[in-house]
Amino acid sequence: MDYLYEQELVKNGYKYICGIDEAGRGPLAGPLVAAAVILDPDRIAVFESLKESKSVTEKNREKLFDVVCDNVAAWSIGVVTSRELDKHGLGFANKIAMKRAWEYLGIKPDYILYDYMAGLHFATPAKGIKKGDKNIMSIAAASIIAKVIHDRMMRAFAVKYPNYGFEIHKGYGTEMHLAKIKEFGPCPIHRMTYQGLKPTLL
């Protein structure tokens, strides 16, 4: 993965370029997590072998998480709970998570690159890029942070709600998860507006 897109923005006068991505759109339970990252231009070589979170094993994501966090200029996360998601809907909740991540950064970005989503607007110049997590270094770095934080939260929820196997499926609608929902009913972190949680399926 290269830094060409960000380099072009630097040439055009932008100094702090932020990449944003999210994790946890699809699960039936748990939070939606977005991450914002500003790369350090002096440490770009560290990220040349970076891959987006979905193409990396959980063990390697944890290693990459440390590499990313130790070598970026700034990073932050924005979390939307399952209750907020039920209240606002997935699309709006995704926008809330991304904006929270951006607002919590210690450095104010000059330009934002994000994995494309229609209707997302920032007070800072920004561009949504389709499949940005696969092609844009700063977005890929954000995808690693978002996914690792999301999965760590789901492992913590597995301790609090041990009947569902959250540490295994991370809230996604696997056969095992659906069977557990039918056996025990939904718990407080289940997204009650999602298809798999409709009363006819419980």
Give me the residue spans of the domains in the chain. Answer: 4-160
Helix (H) or strand (E) holding 75, with range, is: strand 72-80
Ordered per-residue pLDDT tens for the chain, 202 residues: 778 999 999 999 999 999 999 999 999 999 999 999 999 989 988 888 787 677 788 999 999 999 999 999 999 999 999 999 999 999 999 999 999 999 999 999 999 999 888 888 888 999 999 989 999 999 999 999 999 999 999 999 999 999 999 999 999 999 999 999 999 999 999 999 987 676 645 5
Tokens representing 155 are 């492992």
Kindly give the pairing relationship between strand 72-80 and strand 126-129. Answer: unpaired
pLDDT of residue 53: 72
The contacts of residue 125 (CB under 8 Å, 6+ apart) are 14, 110, 111, 112
pLDDT of residue 202: 52
pLDDT of residue 200: 44
pLDDT of residue 196: 64
* Chosen CATH of 4-160 out of 3.40.80.10, 3.30.420.10, 1.10.3720.10, 3.40.50.300: 3.30.420.10
pLDDT of residue 52: 65
Round to the nearest angstrom and report the end-to-end CA distance of the chain: 44
As a whole number of angstroms, the distance between CA 191 and CA 4 comes to 39
